[in-house]
Copies of this chain bind each other. A is one copy, B any other.
């Protein structure tokens, strides 16, 4: 198994902030259009779900066929997807096999919390444009939050004995303390607020720089209240599965400090 560098992972996470902020700004140009999230709010033949579910499922079917979900950093929202039509990729093994997928929670968070926070109330009939943005928002949030697996593995590799002990004792609170770095989190929150203020500002000839497409504080809150905690949930779930699904690291019988493979 290739070892993971926390610095490299952080650079990936930092770049994903732009992707998430751009996607949310795009969605925010349309009203909430709640009907697209209501089951059968828009009736679709042979489909029992919302318009958003439909577009997401159809998009994931395409992406599954071109093997998106064979990548360890991609997680589908839909339960049953077709097999890839492309030959398998050889990904270098960086994390342990696991079945952690909290997309159900991410979906509910998105529809119930994020949409009302970033979009004006009401209906502007832009259903297709809205759900096209929704799919991109959901995929980028899912990717960011499930990246917690890589972060957790890297943290494990930095202190395997301590983590193995916490995992053995199923000590979720201990794991949460071990993976939490308040100074790093505060830097992250300051950075995403600054990015939201820069990338979300209106630019026109009469601009005074004070008008935003999404309030920067709303993006900070999104990270603080949801993205960071859900990433930790993924980290902890991954670590709790790690013990049972791998024999790479056995601190009690081996002197090796890092996994290999």
User: A-side interface residues toward B, CB under 8 Å?
Assistant: 14-15, 18-19, 22, 25-26, 29, 42, 44-45, 51, 54-55, 58-59, 62-63, 65-68, 71, 85-86, 128, 132, 136, 187, 191, 194-195, 198-199, 201, 203-205, 213
Contacts and interface: CB of A to CB of B under 8 A. Distances in A.
Nearest to A29: B15
30 contacts: A14-B204, A15-B29, A18-B213, A22-B22, A22-B25, A22-B26, A42-B86, A44-B86, A45-B85, A54-B66, A55-B62, A58-B65, A59-B59, A63-B128, A63-B132, A66-B128, A67-B128, A68-B128, A71-B128, A136-B136, A187-B205, A191-B203, A191-B204, A191-B205, A194-B203, A195-B203, A198-B198, A198-B199, A198-B203, A199-B199
Contacts of A45: 85
Contacts of A199: 198-199
Q: Is the interface of A mostly helix, strand, loop or mixed?
A: helix
Nearest to A58: B62
Contacts of A22: 22, 25-26
Nearest to A194: B203
Contacts of A54: 66
Nearest to A91: B125
Nearest to A17: B203
Given A71-B128, A136-B136, A199-B199, 7 more contacts: A18-B25, A18-B26, A18-B213, A22-B26, A55-B62, A62-B62, A66-B128
A5 to B, nearest CB: 17
Contacts of A205: 187, 191
A194 B54 CA distance: 38
A195 B201 CA distance: 9
Nearest to A197: B203
Contacts of A18: 25-26, 213
Contacts of A68: 128
A62 B63 contact: no
A213 B18 CA distance: 11
Contact of A198 (B26, B29, B86, B201): B201
